[in-house]
């Protein structure tokens, strides 16, 4: 038996509007055909099956109910064996609206995401941090989540160069969804000016000079001299035959033997911050620069608490951070309590504090002699230290020259 | 033009204007080659198979025999039969005898 294929237009039609296949017992085939003729039902692909025991026919989905009703009325046994086409596929998704909603949302995100900035790359910065530059750009409307169509690059560049003294040149290029920003920082004029300002070297402590390294200026002391704190060591002012006064920035190292004494007091009862067991966490999803709160209100926060911020970014493919981040704020309440510490703890704290003070006062010093004495007095641990050391006692003091 | 015996004035006018073909409303069989047959005036299908289709016309039964026969369309008592038509046979309808 030759099987006749459906024509292409009919295939497209039945795919879009749907069709169904039904079988009728062979003896009822003529009655069925006459029924179709009477009611004007359209059919196609009529064929015999199973040694002509059944007849299979394909009909449009739109006529299914009418056909079944008419067959029931005329007592023609018909059985629908399959349904095809778009209406059937949509029907199968009836209980799965989440699938369609998810597909629609994905398409929306895909087309929307192409029109916004995903990342801002900063290049050419040295003193200025990338975050600082991004903040400046965000003020001008260029940030993650900004619509590319609405960004006027030339205008942003001009405004930043006019308004910012620390940026001398800026260039913005948008490649796809990434904004590449290159800057040139202005020179640090303060530092350069400072380096030319006249200055003297004076003594920081009472000391005996034991060594000198002068790079510029005129020495006012010699080895073995005893100097007081504030006394001139190297002068930045000098006379020449031709000019009455000239100025320079005195620099160098003047090593002196100093004797210093330090006292550290550590109370045995101290007010300490004690963290409570509870912890409040607030999470915010940052999606293309827009914050989306993921928490419900917690009411009033405790009066005293430490706030710790974490920012988790995502870079799953090592191609750069995605414009999605999770910001977590942790609130850890605490209370201030008077806590008594042990004597050993007090001694340890005192020595640590003493080391800190000595390092701050005498950096890079070579200690010649050190004596430390500690005792417990009136609920405190008192640590006294006498030391003799050799260190750089020179300190630069700038001069204001008035013409 | 002379009127034929038993012919009405209307029929005479049709004949004179050569409109007889257009005004014919009875059964009409239109055979295109040996692959397609339009049968106008079909009242029902009496037998349907790939080798034989019997159509009940107004005054007779039309037997279409051949191979790969199928009814491709039907509209307003007109049935179109396609396939390899080998023969057409006319049988008197028993109920119209």
Chain B closest-CA separation from residue A89 CA (Å): 28
Residues whose CB is less than 8 angstroms from the CB of residue A110 and which lie 6 or more positions away in sequence, other chains included = none
Do both A26 and A75 map to the same domain? yes
Which residues of chain A does B77 touch, with a Cβ-Cβ cutoff of 8 Å? 37
The total of structural domains in chain A comes to: 4
Residues A350 and A229 in one domain: yes
Identify the contact set of chain A against chain B, taking CB-CB distances under 8 A: 1-2, 4, 29-30, 33-34, 36-37, 40, 46, 48, 52
A206 & A163 share domain? no
Question: Angle CA(A99)–CA(A104)–CA(A109) in degrees, nearest 5?
Answer: 125
Residue at A101 is within a domain = no
Point out the least confidently predicted range of A46-55, A219-228, A286-295: A46-55
Is A82:A20 a contact under the CB 8 Å cutoff?
yes
Same domain assignment for residues A304 and A290: yes
Instruction: Give the whole-angstrom CA distance, residue A177 versus residue A156.
Output: 17
Q: Which sign does the torsion angle of CA A356, A358, A359, A360 carry?
A: positive
- Position A204 confidence tier, pLDDT thresholds 50, 70, 90: very high
Whether residues A285 and A310 fall in one domain: yes
| Domain boundary pick from A319, A337, A355 | A337
The first and second tokens of residue B7, run together, are 């012919």
Smallest CA–CA distance, residue B65 to chain A, in Å, is: 15
Q: What residues of B are in the A interface, CB distance below 8 Å?
A: 42, 44-50, 68, 70-71, 74-75, 77, 79
> Whole-angstrom Cα distance, residue A234 to residue A399?
13
Q: Are residues A235 and A375 in the same domain?
A: yes
Tell whether A224 and A370 lie within a shared domain.
yes
Task: Tell me which H or E stretch contains A234.
Answer: strand A232-235
| CB A233, CB A214: distance < 8 Å | no
* Interface mutation target, options B40, B48, B76, B83, chain A, most CBs of A under 10 Å: B48
Q: What is the CATH number of the domain that holds A55?
A: 3.30.70.260
Radius of gyration of chain B (CA): 17
Report pLDDT for A189.
58
Residue A311 forms part of a structural domain: yes
Work out the pLDDT band at A154, boundaries 50, 70, 90.
very high
The pLDDT tens digits of the residues spanning A51-106 come to 778 888 888 898 899 999 999 999 999 999 999 888 888 777 777 778 888 888 89
A48 vs B47, B50, B75: nearest CB: B50
Determine, yes or no, domain membership for A399. yes
A34 interaction partners in chain B (CB closer than 8 Å) = 44-45
Determine, yes or no, domain membership for A191.
no
Report CB contact under 8 Å: A46, B71.
yes
CB atoms closer than 10 angstroms to residue A160: 21
What number of C-beta contacts closer than 8 Å exist between A and B? 28
Interchain proximity B48–A30, CB inside 8 Å: yes
CB spacing of B68 vs A1 below 8 angstroms: yes
Test A52 with B49 for CB contact under 8 angstroms: yes
Domain covering B26-96, topology: Immunoglobulin-like (2.60.40)
Residues A73 and A134 in one domain: no
Q: Taking the C-alpha atoms of A355, A358, A363 and A369 in order, what is their torsion angle to the nearest 10 degrees?
A: -100
The angle, 0 to 180 degrees and rounded to 10, between the axes of the packed helices A64-73 and A29-39 is: 120
Q: Residue B74: its pLDDT value, please?
A: 75
Indicate yes or no: CB of A36 within 8 angstroms of CB of B74.
yes
Q: What is the pLDDT of residue A1?
A: 32
Q: How far apart are the C-alpha atoms of A46 and B45, rounded to whole Å?
A: 14
Whole-number mean pLDDT of chain A?
Answer: 87
Question: Does residue A24 belong to any structural domain of this protein?
Answer: yes
pTM, two decimal places: 0.46
pLDDT interval class at B22 (50, 70, 90): low
What mean pLDDT do residues A261-273 have? 91
The interface predicted TM-score (ipTM) is 0.70
Q: Which residues in chain B touch residue A3, judged by CB atoms under 8 angstroms apart?
A: none
A37 to B74: CB separation less than 8 angstroms, yes or no = yes
Band (pLDDT 50/70/90 cuts) for residue A4 is very low
Q: Is the same domain home to A86 and A14?
A: yes
Does a structural domain hold residue A2?
A: no
Flag if A33 and B48 touch (Cβ within 8 Å): yes
Beta bridge partners of A332: A306
Q: In the prediction, which pLDDT does A2 show?
A: 36
Residues of B in contact with A29 (CB under 8 A): 48
Rounded to whole angstroms, how far apart are CA atoms A156 and A179? 12
Q: Do residues A253 and A400 share a domain?
A: yes
Which member of A2, A33, A52 has the closest CB to residue B68?
Answer: A2
Residue numbers of the domain that contains A392: 197-268+341-403
Residues A216 and A78 placed together within one structural domain of the fold: no
Task: Kindly report, residue by residue over B64-93, the tens digit of the pLDDT.
Answer: 999 999 888 777 678 889 999 999 999 987
Burial (CB count within 10 angstroms: exposed 0-12, middle 13-18, buried 19+), residue A289 = middle
Q: By the 8 A CB rule, do A141 and A289 touch?
A: no
A204 and A152 share one domain: no
């Amino acid at each position: 038996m030759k099987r006749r294929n459906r024509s292409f237009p009919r295939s497209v039609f039945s795919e879009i509007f749907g069709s169904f296949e039904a079988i009728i017992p062979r003896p009822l085939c003529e009655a069925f055909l006459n029924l179709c003729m009477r009611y004007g039902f359209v059919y196609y692909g009529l064929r015999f099956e199973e040694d002509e025991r059944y007849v299979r026919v394909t009909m449009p989905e739109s006529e299914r109910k009418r056909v079944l009703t008419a067959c029931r009325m005329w007592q023609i046994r018909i059985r629908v064996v399959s349904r095809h086409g778009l209406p059937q596929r949509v029907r199968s998704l009836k209980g799965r609206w989440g699938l369609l909603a998810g597909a629609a949302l994905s398409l929306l995100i895909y087309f929307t995401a192409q029109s916004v900035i995903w990342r801002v790359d900063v290049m050419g910065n040295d003193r200025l941090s990338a975050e600082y530059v991004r903040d400046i750009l965000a003020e001008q409307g260029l940030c993650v989540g900004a619509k590319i169509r609405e960004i006027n690059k030339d205008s942003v560049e001009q405004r930043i160069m006019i308004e910012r003294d620390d940026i001398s040149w800026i260039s913005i290029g948008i490649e796809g969804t990434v904004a590449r920003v290159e800057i040139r920082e202005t020179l640090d004029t303060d530092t350069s000016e400072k380096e030319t300002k006249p200055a003297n070297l004076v003594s920081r402590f009472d000391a005996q000079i034991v060594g000198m390294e002068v790079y510029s200026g005129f020495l006012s002391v010699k080895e073995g001299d005893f100097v007081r704190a504030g006394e001139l060591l190297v002068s930045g002012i000098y006379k020449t035959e031709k000019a009455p006064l000239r100025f320079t920035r005195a620099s160098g190292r003047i090593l002196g033997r100093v004797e210093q004494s330090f006292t550290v007091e550590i109370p045995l009862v101290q007010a300490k911050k004690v963290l409570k067991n509870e912890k409040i966490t607030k999470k915010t999803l940052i999606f293309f620069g827009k914050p989306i709160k993921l928490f419900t209100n917690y009411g009033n926060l405790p009066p005293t608490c430490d706030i710790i911020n974490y920012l988790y970014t995502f870079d799953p493919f090592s191609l750069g951070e995605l414009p999605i981040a999770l910001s977590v704020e942790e609130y850890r309440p605490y209370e201030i309590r008077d806590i008594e510490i042990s004597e050993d703890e007090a001694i340890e704290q005192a020595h640590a504090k003493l080391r800190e003070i000595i390092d701050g006062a005498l950096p890079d010093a070579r200690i010649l002699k050190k004596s430390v004495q500690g005792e417990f007095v009136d609920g405190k641990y008192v640590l006294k230290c006498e030391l003799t050391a050799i260190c750089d006692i020179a300190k630069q003091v700038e001069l204001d020259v008035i013409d | 033009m002379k009127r034929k015996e038993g012919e009405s004035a209307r029929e005479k006018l049709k004949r004179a204007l050569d409109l007889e073909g257009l005004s014919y409303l009875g059964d009409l069989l239109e055979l295109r080659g040996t692959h397609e047959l339009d049968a106008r005036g079909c009242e029902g299908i009496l037998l349907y198979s790939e080798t034989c289709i019997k159509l009940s016309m107004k005054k007779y039964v039309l037997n279409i025999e051949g191979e790969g026969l199928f009814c491709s369309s039907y509209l307003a008592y007109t049935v179109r039969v396609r396939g390899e038509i080998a023969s057409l046979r006319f049988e008197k309808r028993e109920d119209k005898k």
